Amino acid sequence: MTNSNSNTPVTYSTENNIGIITVDYAPVNALSQSVRQELIDGIEQFENDDAVKAIVIRCKGRTFIAGADIKEFGAAPLEPHLPDVVNRIEACNKPVIASLFGTTLGGGFEVALACHYRVAIASAKVGLPEVNLGLIPGAGGTQRLPRVVGVKKALEMITSGKHYSVKDFSTSDLFASIFDTNADLDQATLQFAESLVEKTDQSLSKVGERAIKNDIDSWSEVISSVKKKSKGKEAPNVAVSILKASLDLDLKKGMALEREEFLKLKESEQSAALRFAFGAERLASKTDLKAEYIDVKSVGITGGGTMGSGIATAFLSSGFKVVLIEQNDDALALGKNRIEKNFAGNVKRGRLSQEQIDGYLSSLTTSIDYQSLSDCELVIEAVFENMDVKKVIFKQFDQVCKASCILATNTSYLDINEIASVVSDPSRVIGMHFFSPANIMKLLEVIQADKSSDQALATAMAVAKKLKKISVLVGVCFGFAGNRMYTRYGREVQQMLLEGAKVAQIDNALTSWGMAMGQLAVGDMSGLDIGYHARSSKPAPEYDKGYFKPAELMYKLGRYGRKTSKGYYQYDENGKASNDPLVDQLISEKAKELGFEQKEFDDDEIAQRAILALISEGLQLLKDGIVKRASDIDVIWLHGYGFPRHKGGPMFQAKQMGKDELESEFEKLRKLESVEIWPEIDLSLIF
């Protein structure tokens, strides 16, 4: 038996007395309307075919079904709805077997849970990641999973959204069989199906008919722990309340409740923001670069400080060979030590074994001789922010690196065109701006200088993918995209301090809004001396009389932040921060001296003004062509600056506000401050 149209994403075939439903819908076999319909059709046709004794659902490509089709979420739901599909599968009167490989996620896992048996290859992963999209499982996941693995494990999976190895479930009956990684999954699944047919006892194991395994001791503890971990996200909390309520409900009523809440969440702002973020991250890597990338195997890194050693750790743990260059043996030893420490943290957390780390470290060469870079396909300069020093290093690169080697700088602010001017072929010079700690932070700004070649840029983007980083292509300006916006954001915070807002009030307002940290606490952490020196390479704007004056005050008092135990806050010997009333007093005196009127702020106003400053600078970046897409700005802020993912990013926020409201808020701020600080800008750039 086959389907009438061979172009459909689902095909049917038989082997001996087994009916096979094959989903082949690239890239991840998502459950589009046609896949849903054809799954039902396949089940019904095989059910009516007397020759078929058991049915296998399997997939082609890289994975078993990875979920509902996210692209369909923007529109009204189309029939058949997924809950009806899974219920139809479970109701089938012949055994249905799901054959899992890759990442079986969300709706895909719900399909598998509705099948009477699940078999999997040992490398397969499963998960219910709906919370990452601001949703809960909407096709029985909250109902069937706790009937198999218990409420505790189900809640952990649903509220974390994490992927789990199928091997984690070897002691439960979630999987009827887990095949060796090298096995032929299709063959092994068919053999499993045939063994079922041969059995005399043909009773079907329907998860939906089981009772929920309630293994929760204290719901109040669960509720408060999930609330704490979800940091303002609604969906994990909704999941908890559904599971709790479902204890007294049968499958039908439980699924009705789940569906109702799923549909509500689908319409929420948080889900819109999280779905937007998912798409924006994938879009960021798409560029119109017209060149093939170079296959980089060996990377040179100059500078073994915090940044350089973090970058080296990232490359080593992704299988690259690394040559670390320092000025002398002592500095080299320190650099190597930092790399080892970075790895040691992973052993402690059980993420890597010592054996794996030894393997990575065996790919590290250290040297004080630039000649050791001669075989590298990519070299990255990661020394401190000084143009002259960077130029000397690039001249050395020019002499020793092979002609095809890409020369990158990790500068955060400096002009890459000027750096490129000292080498004979500036087309191979680019920026690769990592974020600290570089072995952990996912963001990489790939910076296109005036003469950077497409090949050099495409190579950096490809390298980022291998490093499992999210790369965004941006142009050259002071601070590039992220730090230029961060400077504008910081400037607005400084202005509000001068207008009367207090240090702790500002940080609390920003973290309550959702930012991972307060802007002033971040300054203390990264060092107020660093910010001061970075700004001093550029004159303060004349029209901005308060430009970073509180920060300058802290610097001049030697209050550099955590490293001096004093900054905007004071720190005890354990690093615990507390408010220092002296700081608010000094800032207020400075403000009066500069002629700032003092006023009371409320938290909403603080957060709103800081976010509007980000939006204003983001618009300038788009206008100047430093960034091509507004969504790229959001990706930078989500992954480099602790912007709350469930708020999408600053430019997403701008769109949520709408053109008229945005224009009217900007106009108010122009009146309050000045048109230079809040420039008139064409909002059609994003609307």
Per CB under 6 A, residues contacting ligand 3H9 are 27-28, 30, 66-71, 82, 103, 105-107, 110, 129-130, 133, 135, 137-139, 141, 282
- In the complex with ligand 3H9, the residue whose CB is nearer, 32 or 374, is 32
Are the beta carbons of 429 and 419 closer than 8 angstroms? yes
CB of 571 to ligand 3H9, least distance (A): 40
Annotation marks residue 597 as catalytic: no
Which residue in 44, 72, 79, 110 is the catalytic one? 110
- Residue type at 344? A
- Tokens 């996941």, located at residue: 141
Place of tokens 């659902």: 57
Bond before 80 cis per omega within 30 degrees:
yes
Tell me which of 130, 234, 261, 445 is the catalytic residue. 130
H or E element in which residue 593 lies: helix 581-594
- Looking at the Cβ atoms of 65 and 429, the one nearer to ligand 3H9 is 65
Distances 14 to 11, 190, 475 between C-alpha atoms, Å: 10, 10, 56
- Whose Cβ is closer to ligand 3H9: residue 255's or residue 311's? 255
**72 vs 79, 141, 596, CA distance in Å?**
12, 19, 52
Q: How far is the CB of 430 from ligand 3H9 (least distance, A)?
A: 23
DSSP for 496-545, please give it: HHHTT--HHHHHHHHHHHT-SS-HHHHHHHH-HHHHHHHHHTSPPPTT-T
Task: Give Cα separations from 630 to 563, 618, 651 (angstroms).
Answer: 36, 8, 6
Q: Tell me whether residue 33 or residue 306 sits nearer to ligand 3H9 (CB atom).
A: 33
Helix (H, G, I), strand (E, B) or coil at 31: strand
Least distance in angstroms from the C-beta of 63 to ligand 3H9: 6
Q: Are 89 and 68 spatial neighbours (Cβ–Cβ below 8 Å)? A: no
Query: What is the nearest approach in angstroms of ligand 3H9 to the Cβ of residue 138?
Result: 3
Integer-rounded Cα Rg, in Å, for the chain is: 28
Closest among 108, 90, 106, 44 to 209, alpha carbons compared: 90
Residue type, 434: F
- Are 237 and 121 in contact by the 8 Å Cβ rule? The answer is no
Minimum CB separation of residue 11 from ligand 3H9 in Å reads 20
The minimum distance between CB 456 and ligand 3H9, in angstroms, equals 23
Tokens of 552: 């300058």
Minimum CB distance to ligand 3H9, residue 20 (Å): 23
Residue 138 vs 644, nearer CB to ligand 3H9: 138
CB of 26 vs ligand 3H9, minimal distance in Å: 8
C-alpha distances in Å from residue 449, one per residue of 143, 289, 406, 485, 611:
54, 14, 13, 19, 29
Instruction: State in angstroms the smallest separation of the CB of 243 from ligand 3H9.
Output: 15
φ and ψ at 148, to 5 degrees? -105, -50
CA distances from 335 to 315, 339, 362, 380 (A): 15, 6, 15, 15
Q: Which is nearer to ligand 3H9, 262 or 560 (CB)?
A: 262
Active site residue 130: yes
Nearest to ligand 3H9 of 106, 304 (CB atom): 106
Q: How far apart are CA 13 and CA 43, in angstroms?
A: 12
φ, ψ dihedrals at 262, nearest 5°: -60, -45
Residues 6+ away with beta carbon under 8 Å from 140: 83, 86, 87, 110, 113, 114, 208, 251, 255, 258
Active-site amino acid positions: 110, 130
